[in-house]
Each structure stands twice: as structure tokens, then as C-alpha cells.
Structure 1
């Protein structure tokens, strides 16, 4: 990509306002003139014009770093997996600390998870990371190696790791203590 700038392409930022085309032309003329004359531009003024011009050009050639546009930036590793579980399935899952069991909402009441629903939810977290979060990060990449490139690689690696039994078990174990998921047996209906 060519990042050359002329006086007509310099943005009208506060810094660039000082680097007018007249300044640019005068600077080029003064620097190309071998013999100083009585009408030559003083060195401090040339230095200031050159500084203004360099700053103006750098405003047009240096990309602005942006932060991710994701609605939520989760913590890394298993803690982040647990946070995602609570975020995505917190309305359907609770952990009964009294009985050390996952509870599932059945649309009418809470019921002990006897079918591995919590594990399936964690698998869905991994799939969502791979199919949604990674592509969102990749779509925001402006330059190879920027924040979005690195974050996309990290998310992709985490999503692959979360497809393994050890990561799923570790994330579920951490999720058991999240305030939005942990409960006590007395919090449920009497018929649970």
C-alpha cells in the first residue's frame, strides 16, 4: 500500500493545519537551494515546518488502533469459558452447591441435570467461539499482527482446546462458583 502524501492529501487536523501547501513548497525550495540568501527561511522556521509536515503525514499513514467491537470481552482460558457459559446459558443452568449438582430449568421448575446438559452447553460455548467470536475478530483485522489478528488466533486456539474433555471439566468446575450460577438447595421449589 502506497502511503505517499502531498499537500492536497494532508488532513485538516490541528497539526496538519500548520502544514499548508505554501509551507510544503517553501520547505522543498529551501531544502533544495544550495546557497543561502538574505531572503532564505531561517533554520528554526524550516525545522518547525518540517516537523509539522512529518506530523501531518504520519496522521494519514498510521492506522488508528481500535478496540474489539464484541459486546463482551471475556477473560482468557477456562475462567473465560465459565463466564461464557454463565452469559449464554445462565437462564437455563444453576449449580446446587448443597448437593454438588447442576440444575436445569425445564420451563416450569428446576431439575437435577441427569443427562449431561451442562456439558452440552459447554460444547455449545466452544462452537459459538469458533463460529461467531473468531470470525468477528477476523473481520476486524486491519493489518496482519494487529490486536484483532492476535485475539482471533487466541480465540481459535481456546475454542479448539475447549472441545477437549479436560478443558470442559475444568471450565464447568470453575463455573460452579460463579455468583450468577451458584445456589443452595433451599433456593429451589420444595418438590425438587
Structure 2
């Protein structure tokens, strides 16, 4: 349940921060959001290892309960500055993006067992390409209020910032894996 909640919340967390906070307090909110993400990413692997080593692996899941309770209480104190009229969600685009990205991840994960040239891998990755291309077409041509305005990515600053964040996140998540292996196999 926590994993499902995190998977649903992670992509929209930044959107929630930019929507809920007015322009005057948005910079501070974005700074706190960034600091919390960096602190959680830096300490999560270490704290998870300590909990697993000295208590039990179940504590890794239970440690989130008081954090969520605190966040719920703190969230009530934040005033609601959202506009009264909300834009309609592009359900077709959301479905295409979700299924396309799930197929991409599944195809890449299956390569460990099936290999890159197996029919399962090729079919799943091919379906991902088709679905993500359909998502791009939906967002650029059909959606009245698209999830992603693809024209934004043609701006040099926006495209460069997204490419930089892709590289940074890739390095960060790879380092979590390799550092945990180093701590377990080399220093242990």
C-alpha cells in the first residue's frame, strides 16, 4: 500500500506544491520540498539499513507511519489558495502515459531473465514505444488541456533543465544501489 501510494504521489508532488502555495510563498515551499527530498534520499538508505540490522525489516515500513501522521497535521495548517475552477484531467493522456511507462519498465526489467531479443522483451518495449508515441500525439494534437505541454520542452532552458535532472536522478539512484552494495560486501 505504501509503495502504491508513493508511486502515485511522487510524480505529482511538485505539482501539488506549485498549485497549493501562492506566488509569494512558492519559492520557500519549493526550497523546503527540495531539502526534504535531498535529506530523505541521503538518509533513507542508511536509516533503512540501521533499522533492518538492529530491529527488523518491518520497521522500514513502520517508520513512515509517524511521518505521515505529522504531515497530515501540518498539512491542515496550510491555507488553500487553489483556483475555484480546476482544469479537466486528460484521462486518455494519463492512461497512455501510465501504461506506456509501465510497459517500458516491465520490458527493461524482463531483460534480466528473457534477454534483449526475446519476443516478450521486444513486444513489451515495442508496445511502450507505440503507447508513448500515442501519448505525445494525444498531448500535442487532441487534448484540450494536456498533461504536458510538449512545446515547453523545445525551450532551451526547460529542455536543458529536464535533461540535467534526468542525469542527476539517474546518478543518485544508481549511487544508492552501489553504495549499499559497497557497505554490505566491502566494508562488512
TM-score range, shorter chain: under 0.3
- Under a length normalisation based on structure 2, what TM-score does the superposition of the two structures give? 0.24
Question: Which structure carries more relative contact order (alpha carbon 8 Å, separation 6+)?
Answer: 1
Larger proportion of strand: 1
- Under a length normalisation based on structure 1, what TM-score does the superposition of the two structures give? 0.24
